Amino acid sequence: MRLRLSLAALPLVLLAACGAPGGGSQFLAPGASYTVTQIDGRPAPEGVTLEVTETGRIAGQAPCNRYFATLAPTATGIEISAPGVTRMACLDRERTAAETAFLAALEGPRTVLPGTAPGQLALREGNRTRLLLVRAQ
């Protein structure tokens, strides 16, 4: 019996296959929602989110604007495309700086590792944690 798999479904299958060592949880599985708690080691502003869509994309709320990007598995983790963002005015300098840092931390090849707390994920670039996420309940 041959298994036929659409190339469009491949990223979803690969993402669903990424599980935490020794656990049943999935890394960035379709339908998962996360709260961003840290950006480059600093606390993230309240309300920053990351959601994985059923089509293998991510979307959510950055510190000021909504964003979306394509998510693809790689041999060592994931690759996130340059995010598209809305262009709403952000008058708070701290949130503006956090948004710039968040969008830069999001884009590119990332290794996804479990964090130190249950439901926590770290998106790493090399040995540097760029984003720390906690799964939304």
Give residue 1's pLDDT: 37
Average pLDDT over residues 29-54: 95
| Spatial distance between the Cα atoms of 77 and 79, rounded to a whole number of angstroms | 7
Residue with the bigger pLDDT between 15 and 40: it is 40
Q: What is the pLDDT of residues 67-116, one digit of tens each?
A: 999 999 888 889 999 999 999 989 999 999 999 999 999 999 999 999 88
Query: What domain count does the chain have?
Result: 1
| Spatial distance between the Cα atoms of 117 and 85, rounded to a whole number of angstroms | 30
Q: For a pLDDT cut of 90, what percent of the chain falls above it?
A: 65
Domain containing residue 116: 7-135
Residue 55, domain member (yes or no): yes
What rounded mean pLDDT belongs to the chain?
A: 82
Residue 1, domain member (yes or no): no
